Chain A
Amino acid sequence: MRPTGHALLTAIVLATAAGPCLTAAGAASAPPVTHYVLDAPRSSLEFTFQQAGAQNKGKFTRFAVSFDFSPDNLAGSRLEVTVEIGSLDTGDQERDDTLHGADLFAVAKFPQAHFAASQFNKTASGYEAIGKLTIRGVTRDTRVPFTFRTADEHGVAVGYMSGKTTVRRLDFGVGQGEWRATDQVGNEVGVSFALRLTSAAR
């Protein structure tokens, strides 16, 4: 979508430009991180899954993101994502209702999924967040690769974060009883996100 090279360059330029004043104002070592919140209407969190041999799509319409990030201070960066499972939308009411049910997401008991990461690595194409993903009450260590670029839009610092990863639904118990089988509904679920984040004062 957006060239990573350009994103990286932007990040470096911004970091370099911001460097001196941050160092002057900040603590002895680490530059401060920027606190971002979600611009929900301009962000998406989608998933793809195999159903009956074909790829099907869905999305979550309600989720919250809190992202404290600086490319120069990965150690001080934090990501927290909370997803309202009840907001899932696969475009079919019967399927959505089934997904809400006790054998799948059990949304009445586990209304939210959660991802919290406090470890970040620079990768060839961007970054990866290493954290804990909790779905249906089961927590697993998860790595989420992403790209991040910032932009100045009419004086507002904006961050664009996007990426995709794969989770295995059965690792989180999403599929009890007959839904444990993977011949009609695949185990692997692709999750992709394209977020627009705005910086907010803490």
Chain B
Amino acid sequence: MVMRNTTHRWGAVAQLLHWLIVALIIVQVTLAALAGDLPLGMKKLAMLARHKSVGITILGLALVRLGWRQLNPTPALPQTLKPYERTLARFTHAMLYVLLFAMPLSGWMMSSARGFPVSWFGFFQLPDLVPKSQPLYHALVTTHQTLAVVLGAVVTLHVAAALKHHYVLRDDVLQRMLPLSTTTQGTKR
């Protein structure tokens, strides 16, 4: 397995970033759901502290990922795709990138507006992005929650498309993002 991408296959770095972010998003959804029902107490503070720290981690990884994407070739979509499928694929991927930034940033702003500053696992404290404000906080809560729903929808579309590529179209679009799989074109380069 090579570090860099080729025009046929995602390299190890891109795959690691993809799956690490997937795992962290699952952690985020779990922490948010568990903390949401709790009254303000130590457990809630601990969960939200982790939620914020993981969110900042995702923001950092998203930056690395975007940078790596610029420095590497992007594996091409199969020639067999119809134009609307191509557009839909580009739109979905663009949305995912936008949300990788918008989710943590809206969460970070939300914390600042509430006056609960963000720390990264207690190692360092991040600056407040916006001033403390109750109306702004409520607006950002709505934003963060709405973006989460949008992320859920886009991820569903993304997963459905990946499965369609694998099981219906029987191309290597899914496999080329899987670390251990060998693909017909991807491995022969």
* A residues lining the B interface (CB < 8 Å): 51-57, 90-92, 94-95, 98, 178-179, 181, 183-185
Contact A184 B117 (CB under 8 A): no
Q: A54-B118, A95-B116, A184-B45 are in contact. List 19 more A-B contacts (CB 8 A).
A: A51-B45, A52-B46, A52-B48, A52-B52, A53-B53, A53-B119, A53-B120, A53-B121, A54-B116, A54-B119, A56-B116, A56-B117, A90-B115, A91-B132, A95-B40, A98-B40, A184-B42, A184-B46, A185-B45
Contact residues, B108-143 vs A (CB, 8 A): 114-123, 125-126, 132
Indicate if B69 sits at the interface (CB-CB under 8 A).
no
- CB-based closest 6 A-B pairs: A53-B119, A53-B122, A52-B49, A54-B117, A91-B115, A54-B119
Q: Which of A52, A95, A178 has the most CB of B within 10 A?
A: A52
Contact A181 B42 (CB under 8 A): yes
In the bound complex, CA of A92 to CA of B43 (Å): 18
Chain A residues within 8 Å of B116, by CB: 51-52, 54, 56, 92, 95
Select from chain A the residue with minimum beta-carbon distance to B119: A53
CB distance from B60 to the nearest CB of A (A): 16
What is the interface size of chain B, counting residues whose CB is below 8 A from a CB of the partner? 23
* B residues lining the A interface (CB < 8 Å): 40-43, 45-46, 48-49, 52-53, 114-123, 125-126, 132
Q: Which of B43, B119, B123 has the most CB of A within 10 A?
A: B119
Q: List 6 A-B contacts (CB under 8 A).
A: A55-B125, A56-B115, A92-B114, A92-B115, A178-B42, A184-B46
Chain A residues within 8 Å of B42, by CB: 178-179, 181, 183-185
Select from chain B the residue with minimum beta-carbon distance to A184: B45
Chain A residues within 8 Å of B40, by CB: 94-95, 98
Chain B residues within 8 Å of A181, by CB: 42
In the bound complex, CA of A90 to CA of B132 (Å): 10
Chain A residues within 8 Å of B52, by CB: 52
In the bound complex, CA of A54 to CA of B126 (Å): 8
CB distance from B136 to the nearest CB of A (A): 12
Chain B residues within 8 Å of A56, by CB: 115-117
